[in-house]
Chain A
Amino acid sequence: MSYSAAFKDHLAHPRNVGELPEASVIAEQTNPVCGDRLRLSLAIKDNRIETARYLAYGCPPTLVCGSVLTELVTGKTTDEAKQITRIDLLNAIGGLPSRKHHAAALAIEALNAAVSRLL
């Protein structure tokens, strides 16, 4: 399978790795079928995501989806973040084969879990 240049770049140089000691919210989601895991930490001020960090275990698409997700949500309001879809994430990565779409779904689940905890 060939990955996009953006994909390879995120894999070799993942953005926003880690956890936030002063996170407003931390959410972790696990794919029960394959065991992939994604932990998302968000620091939110005035309803806006100032900083996002992630940790991930799993196949390369899962690692890359976490990295891309942190870039997509940074600077957005929580309402705007809620609107981000699996398709937005896939487009930002440059696409994934359909059998790897679960990685994007896991990242969006982690985002939704984090944002819903704020409500």
Chain B
Amino acid sequence: MPERRIYLDHSATTPVDPRVAEAMARSVLQVFGNPSSVHGFGQQARAAVDRARREVAALIDARPNEIIFTSGGTEANNLAIRGVCEASVAHGRHIVTSAIEHPSVRGVCAALEQRGWEVTRLPVYDNGIVRVEDVREAIRPDTVLVSVMLANNEIGTTQPVAGIGAIVRERRAAGQRHLFLHTDAVQAAGRMALNVEELGCDLLTISAHKLYAPKGIGALYVRRGVKLAGQNIGGHQERERRAGTENVPGIVAFGEAAKLAREELHERTTHDSSLRDKFERKVVELIPDVVMNGDRYQRLPHLSNISFRYIEGEGLLINLDLQGVAVSTGSACSSGTLEPSPVIRALGVNDEIARGSIRFSFGKENTGEDVDYTIEVLVQAVERLRALSPLNRPLAVS
């Protein structure tokens, strides 16, 4: 184990905030009742869940009764897409989505495609951003759902969801009443201000473990009036949309994390972006042949995705890990597939650039010294791997 350990993978998950852990521990030890029980123990748990629901709703400026707790972002995305498509099947079987969605959206859309739905996947061009006019053109009379993420998990680009929301509302006002907009805001929550009215979305996914809370808890915002077919059957919980006894300690932790994320949003985003910007300046200054992936401005404040030419991402990742620095990569080997990241490929870059991409995602516990150390080991690792690479050396005829 290296002496120094620096975590720069906050887009994968975040360390649990001690304040969140304390709230959760209190709940685990003291609030064990079933929120569906009528007695005092149950009502104590119900009150804890309701308090948390208000905090999660406040994070996105929604009403508490529009929040459905789930086991995380993946379940929320499944519930949103399957739930809307199954409830609206009489009105159409067409979905509009983007080419860079999280696998939990991509996978559900592909599964529905197998069952007869049609899916239009919009391109993102070289900046990693969907164009609003493409959404307008893609919506058909039989479209029931538009699902475009608010911020991408690999390159951090933020998508014009408010613009898409305006189009969806326009179409609804024109008579297409069963058209809904879902956005996966798992990466955006806690990193930018969220307001479901301004976004104009009907469904929105968030996950607690990206907000310094534990894994295993997430939420789906469902605007009042949206028809949604529940996917977990067998109980009345979460307004019949997600049966199963609530994960009370997880929900309490999520509530505390949402409150802190809202209260500390400015402080956290300013901190993260200053570290990220310092890091990027140093990379460009000290390392030649790098490619910054995704739009430089319309993106999350904490994330940097960089391709290092002539080297493959996993080799760099492991080299950094041996020095105590944790990052992630879009290389094929790392994901266990043979194809490099579809997100980086969607930017129109070649395989070599896609395979050499590394995501650095900063968080509130990182410091300026962390950036300095990371740069130091990164420069050495890139030099070492480039010295090994045949890609920048033509093969002499032997």
A36 CA to B352 CA in the complex, in Å? 10
Bound-state CA distance A37–B352 (Å) is 12
| CB-based contact B395/A60 at 8 Å | no
CA distance A54 to B389 in the complex (A): 9
- CB of A57 within 8 A of CB of B322, answer no
**How long is the Cα–Cα vector from A37 to B390 in the complex, in angstroms?**
8
- In the complex, chain A residues whose CB is within 8 Å of the CB of B208: none
Are the CB atoms of A34 and B332 closer together than 8 Å? yes
B338 at the interface (CB under 8 A from A): yes
B336 is an interface residue with CB less than 8 A from chain A:
yes
Contact call B387/A17, Cβ cutoff below 8 A: yes
Q: Are B315 and A28 in contact (CB under 8 A)?
A: no
User: Please, which residues of chain A bring their CB within 8 A of the CB of B391?
Assistant: 37, 57
In residues 366-398 of chain B, which contact A (Cβ within 8 Å)? 384-385, 387-391, 393, 395-396, 398
Size of the chain B interface, CB-CB below 8 angstroms: 28
Q: Is the CB of B310 within 8 A of A12?
A: no
Residue of B nearest to A14 (CB): B388
| Interface residue B312 (Cβ < 8 Å from any Cβ of A) | yes
Interface size on A, residues (CB 8 A): 32
Q: Is B355 an interface residue (CB 8 A)?
A: yes
Cβ contacts under 8 Å, A56 to chain B: 388-390
0/1 interface trace, chain A 76-117, chain B, CB 8 Å (1 if under): 000000000000000000000001100000000000000001
Q: Are A55 and B314 in contact (CB under 8 A)?
A: no
Docked complex Cα distance between A36 and B315 (Å): 12
Residue in B311, B315, B352, B395 whose beta carbon sits within 8 Å of that of A11 in the complex: B315
A34 to B340 Cα, complex, angstroms: 9
Residues A23 and B390 in contact in the complex (CB < 8 Å), given A11-B322, A34-B338, A57-B311: no
Give CA–CA (A21, B116) in the complex, Å: 61
B198 — which chain A residues lie within 8 A by C-beta? none
Interface status of B333 (Cβ within 8 A of chain A): yes
Query: A66 CB to closest chain B CB, in angstroms?
Result: 8
Which residue of A has the minimal Cβ distance to B385?
A63
Known: A19-B393, A37-B390, A39-B395. A59 touches B314 (CB 8 A): yes
Residues 312 to 358 of chain B near chain A (Cβ within 8 Å): 312, 314-315, 318-319, 322, 331-334, 336, 338, 351-352, 355
Identify 13 residue pairs between A and B in the complex whose beta-carbon atoms are under 8 Å apart, listed by A's number. A3-B318, A12-B319, A19-B396, A26-B395, A35-B351, A39-B390, A57-B312, A57-B391, A58-B315, A59-B331, A66-B388, A99-B336, A100-B333
Besides A8-B318, A57-B390, A59-B332, 8 more A-B contacts (Cβ < 8 Å) are A14-B388, A17-B387, A35-B351, A36-B312, A37-B391, A63-B315, A99-B336, A117-B398
